């Protein structure tokens, strides 16, 4: 069902659904994705501000920001890693599951090669953890923006992605309020809305999106969604085996509130830590019920007027 | 600073807990007192809509739709002044509405793209089609009544507008509820009744204001029914949405919605008690009803804004949902 979103809207024999798997455990916060996206898509400047939010002056996704790298500085002590029961350097530990002993540098360097690039690796003092994550439009299976667009400007491509037709959008802004992730937004001086297209032009000629192409650590992986999901599951299993109990997939499940994301993530903390909603639901899931309630209310108005006119004693 | 979870005040946490108990009838074992966010930033984007345009439209659309129903009743019961006032109000309000709607577009010159497709999944698309059917009928009904020409066509248009009027008055609730905005979406069951009740009260208020006392009996009764529906639905909504109800009580939205309750109640009660005897009292009651309806719409609009600005209203209810799905065994230990 999730793989044939394009067929569901009428494409004959569409290509496999394409997607992003953003593995934040290997993100190094270089922002090459942000730059590549801006360059390829000619996205205008989104403001030069100093925010004090770690290294994040980009702030959030928006009309002029289609990739956004989040930076979270957190004490490593807050990590709820499971104890691996392995020899560690430093004072002895209790060894209970609630123990918050960090993984030793030994384990990081040998047992889990190349998996924890997002964290500090100072031998003996992993007291600080730096989470970085490149956010992007989720290209939902059940896309609220697409559902509510009154003009048909937003549409589903043959690759299963969601794209705005800029020559149709009349800037009503409905999609902005409908998106459960706060992705799409209006360009004020232009009036229309803009968001990630997953580089529709590049996909059309068999290229990968600019951000994935530029990512130096393969944190952003592009490909067939089914294959990416398998790859992601293997990755999260590897991280769990290495003791990184906080590793979890976000948006990969076709059973979630939006039917799964075309762009999903491997996170190392709760989604809201990265500014992502923990359990979003496409607003149109309740639409049938909304219409029913509105119909009853409308009928109520007619009945009330009938009572007002013909139920009185005058 | 960078990784401090934002913590609800004890009162806020308690309020949320009460909401839970009422909804689930069960004891919440882990109150959602804490949540994390990305530097306190909103998860959702603020609506691009201007209050004067869109909240103004919510008010005017409700006034127009309900006025058409009132107009049909007035015509059927031969209350000619009430009929005339209601018909003029309907076309006037819906014309202003359309101006406001087009004005709010980022590309007003492309407003006609609204009629490019018909999409049942988009309440705005449905509304555009309903309005383009309703507005000409309301216009015909008013023109026929004012000029006295084509009375049969006028009667047919009056009936048509009265049939579409309730749709105009109620669909706007679906329009705002069909978004990710917590204070709008979570109230989707009650909002249509709040909006229709508010529209009925406004139309009745206009009738009280514009028609002679001898004709306004139905308007007085409709005001009471509309106000009662609005207040009851609002109370139920405030109770059911849990933590999000804060946005109806605090700040600008709180002020507006408190004013709405006072004005609507005063207008409905005043109209019922004094409206039969005094034209002045009837007019004052009518004005209060109109102002109350406007306050309701602007208040709900502002509550939506407030519920988007604070990530609490996005994250905490979703966390509650996860906890409920996990049978209260929170799968993810809260970070401190």
Does residue B66 sit at the A interface (CB-CB below 8 Å)? yes
Give the integer Cα–Cα distance in Å for B145 and B78. Answer: 12
For the record, the structure tokens of A37 come out as 């996206």
How confident is the model at residue A313, as a pLDDT? Answer: 56
- The ipTM is 0.89
- Does the pLDDT value for residue A19 go beyond 60? yes
> What pLDDT is stored for residue A86 in this prediction?
52
pLDDT at B26 over 70: no
Do B335 and B275 touch, CB atoms closer than 8 A? no
Q: Picking from B94-108, B264-278, B321-335, which range would have the lowest pLDDT averaged per residue? A: B321-335
Q: Strand, coil or helix: what is A18?
A: strand
- Which of B35, B43, B178 comes nearest A284 by C-beta? B178
The partner residue sitting opposite A176, judged by closest CB among B36, B45, B116, is: B45
69-108 in B: which are within 8 Å (CB) of A?
Answer: 69-70, 72-74, 76-77, 104-108
Q: pLDDT band for A87, please (50, 70, 90 cuts).
A: low
For A16, A239, A244, B105, the CA distances from A233, given in Å and listed in that order, are 19, 10, 14, 43
Rounded distance, CA A47 to CA A57, Å? 9
Q: Provide mean pLDDT across the span B192-198.
A: 98
CA torsion sign, B101 to A162 to A279 to A69? Answer: negative
Q: What is the pLDDT of residues B286-325, one digit of tens each?
A: 999 999 999 999 999 999 999 999 999 999 999 999 999 8
Q: What's the pLDDT score for residue A95?
A: 43
- Euclidean distance between CA atoms A294 and A292, whole angstroms: 5
Contact B51, B301 (CB under 8 A): yes
The Cα of A127 is separated from the nearest Cα of chain B by a number of Å equal to: 14
Determine the pLDDT at residue A121: 44
* Cβ atoms of A17 and A224 closer than 8 Å: yes
Please name the member of B171, B180, B315 whose beta carbon is closest to the beta carbon of A179. B180
A298 and B123 within 8 Å at the Cβ level: the answer is: no
Q: How far apart are CA A203 and CA A159, in angstroms?
A: 8
Q: Residues with Cβ < 8 Å from B157, sequence gap 6 or more? A: B137, B138, B140, B141, B144
Q: What is the pLDDT of residues A255-268, one digit of tens each?
A: 999 999 999 999 99
Confidence of residue A21 (pLDDT cuts 50, 70, 90): very high
The nearest alpha carbon in chain B to A277 belongs to B315
With 0-12 / 13-18 / 19 or more C-beta atoms within 10 angstroms meaning exposed / middle / buried, residue A49 is: exposed
pLDDT, residue B11, reads 38
For A:78-97, CB contacts with B below 8 A are 78, 80
Can you tell me the distance from the alpha carbon of A113 to that of A118, in angstroms, rounded to the nearest whole number?
A: 13
Model pLDDT for residues B86-144, shown as the tens digit of each residue: 999 999 999 999 999 999 999 999 999 999 999 999 999 999 999 999 999 999 999 99
Yes or no: say if A259 and A64 are a contact pair by the CB < 8 Å rule: no
Nearest residue of chain B to residue A280 (CA atoms): B318
Q: Residue A48: is its pLDDT beyond 60?
A: yes
CB burial of B216-255 (b: ≥16 within 10 Å; e: otherwise) equals bbbbbbbbbbbbbbbbebbeebbebbbbbbbbbeeeebbe
Residue-by-residue DSSP string for A128-183: EEEEEEEEE---BSS-HHHHH-SSS-EEE-TTS-EEE-TTT-----HHHHH-TTS-
Task: Indicate the pTM of the whole model.
Answer: 0.87
CB contact under 8 A, B178 and A148: yes
> What tokens were used for B248?
């109806």
pLDDT band at B12, cuts 50/70/90? very low
Which of the residues A76, A130, A172 would you substitute to probe the B interface, choosing the one with the greatest number of B C-beta atoms within 10 Å?
Answer: A172
Sign of the Cα torsion B42, B43, B45, B50 reads: negative
CA distance B104 to chain A (A): 7
DSSP-derived letter for residue A78 is G
CB atoms A168 and B116 under 8 Å: yes
**CA A264, A162, A2: angle at the middle one, nearest 5?**
55
Give residues with Cβ within 8 angstroms of B317, minimum separation 6.
Answer: B182, B186, B242, B243, B244
Percent of chain B with pLDDT over 70: 87
Q: Which residues pair with A19 in a beta bridge?
A: A223
Q: How many Cα neighbours within 13 Å face the side chain of A28?
A: 10
Q: Supply the pLDDT for residue A127.
A: 74
Residue A139: pLDDT band by 50, 70, 90 thresholds?
Answer: very high
Q: How far is CA B180 from the centre of its chain?
A: 17
DSSP string, B187-219: TTTTHHHHHHHHHHHHHHHHHHHHS-GGG-HHH
Of B17-21, B225-229, B293-297, least confident by mean pLDDT is B17-21
Which of A301, A306, A311, A313 is the best mutation test for B, with the most CBs of B within 10 A?
Answer: A301
* pLDDT tens digits, one per residue of A100-128: 444 444 434 444 444 444 444 444 556 77
Tell me which residue has tokens 């049939």.
B163
Interchain CB contact of A69 with B (< 8 Å):
no
Cα(A78)–Cα(A91) distance, integer angstroms:
18
Taking only the tens place, the pLDDT of each residue in A176-220 is 999 999 999 999 999 999 999 999 999 999 999 999 999 999 999
B144–chain A nearest CA distance, Å = 22
How many C-beta atoms surround the C-beta of residue A286 within 10 A? 18
Classify residue A109 by its DSSP letter. Answer: I
């Amino acid at each position: 069902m999730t793989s044939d979103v394009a067929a569901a809207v009428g494409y004959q024999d569409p290509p496999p659904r394409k997607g992003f798997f953003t593995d934040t455990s290997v993100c190094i916060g270089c922002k090459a994705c942000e730059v590549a996206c801006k360059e390829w898509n000619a996205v205008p400047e989104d403001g030069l501000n100093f925010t004090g939010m770690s290294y994040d002056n980009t702030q959030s996704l928006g009309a002029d920001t289609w990739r956004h790298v989040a930076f979270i500085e957190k004490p490593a002590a807050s990590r709820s890693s499971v104890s691996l029961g392995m020899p560690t350097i430093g004072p002895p530990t209790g060894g209970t599951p609630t123990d918050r002993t960090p993984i030793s540098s030994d384990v990081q360097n040998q047992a889990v090669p190349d998996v924890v690039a997002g964290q500090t690796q100072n031998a003996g003092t992993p007291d600080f953890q730096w989470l970085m994550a490149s956010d992007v439009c989720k290209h939902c299976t059940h896309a609220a923006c697409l559902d509510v667009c009154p003009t048909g400007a937003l549409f589903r491509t043959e690759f299963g992605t969601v794209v705005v037709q800029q020559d149709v959008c009349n800037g009503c802004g409905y999609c902005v309020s409908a998106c459960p992730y706060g992705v799409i937004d209006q360009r004020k001086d232009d009036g229309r809305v803009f968001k990630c297209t997953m580089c529709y032009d590049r996909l059309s000629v068999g290229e990968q999106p600019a951000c994935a192409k530029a990512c130096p650590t393969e944190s952003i992986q592009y490909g067939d969604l089914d294959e990416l999901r398998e790859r992601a599951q293997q990755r999260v299993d590897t991280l769990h085996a290495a003791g990184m109990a906080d590793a979890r997939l976000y948006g990969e499940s076709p059973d979630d509130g939006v039917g799964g994301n075309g762009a999903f993530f491997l996170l190392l903390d709760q989604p809201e830590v990265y500014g992502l909603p923990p359990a979003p639901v496409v607003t149109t899931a309740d639409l049938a019920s909304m219409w029913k309630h509105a119909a009853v209310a409308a009928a109520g108005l007619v009945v009330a007027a009938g009572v007002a006119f013909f139920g009185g004693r005058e | 600073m960078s990784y401090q979870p934002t913590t609800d005040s004890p009162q806020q946490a308690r309020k949320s807990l009460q909401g839970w108990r009422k909804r689930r009838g069960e004891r919440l074992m882990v109150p959602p007192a804490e949540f994390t966010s990305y530097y306190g930033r909103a998860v959702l984007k603020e609506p691009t809509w201007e209050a004067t345009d869109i909240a103004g439209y919510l008010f005017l659309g409700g006034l127009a739709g309900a006025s058409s129903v009132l107009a049909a009743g007035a015509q059927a019961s031969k209350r000619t002044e009430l009929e005339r006032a209601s018909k003029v109000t309907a076309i006037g309000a819906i014309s202003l509405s359309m101006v406001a709607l087009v004005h709010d577009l980022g590309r007003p010159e492309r407003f006609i793209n609204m009629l490019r497709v018909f999409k049942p999944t988009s309440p705005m698309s449905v509304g555009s089609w309903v309005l383009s059917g309703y507005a000409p009928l309301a216009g015909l009904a008013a023109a026929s009544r004012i000029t006295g020409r084509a009375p049969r066509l006028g009667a047919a248009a009056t009936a048509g507008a009265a049939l579409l009027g309730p749709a105009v008055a109620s669909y706007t609730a679906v329009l705002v509820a069909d978004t990710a905005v917590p204070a709008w979406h979570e109230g989707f069951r009650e909002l249509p009744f709040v909006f229709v009740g508010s529209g009925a009260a406004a139309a009745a208020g206009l009738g009280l204001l514009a028609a002679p006392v001898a004709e306004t009996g139905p308007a007085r009764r409709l005001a009471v029914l509309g106000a009662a529906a609005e207040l009851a639905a609002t109370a139920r909504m405030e109770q059911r949405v849990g933590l999000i109800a804060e946005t109806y009580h605090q700040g600008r939205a709180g002020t507006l919605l408190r004013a709405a309750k006072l004005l609507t109640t005063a207008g409905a009660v005043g109209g019922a008690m004094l409206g039969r005897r005094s034209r002045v009292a009837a007019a004052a009651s009518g004005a209060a009803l109109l102002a109350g309806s406007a306050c309701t719409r602007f208040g709900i609009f502002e509550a939506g804004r407030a519920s988007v600005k604070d990530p609490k209203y996005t994250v905490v209810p979703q966390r509650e949902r996860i906890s409920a799905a996990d049978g209260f065994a929170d799968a993810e230990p809260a970070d401190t």
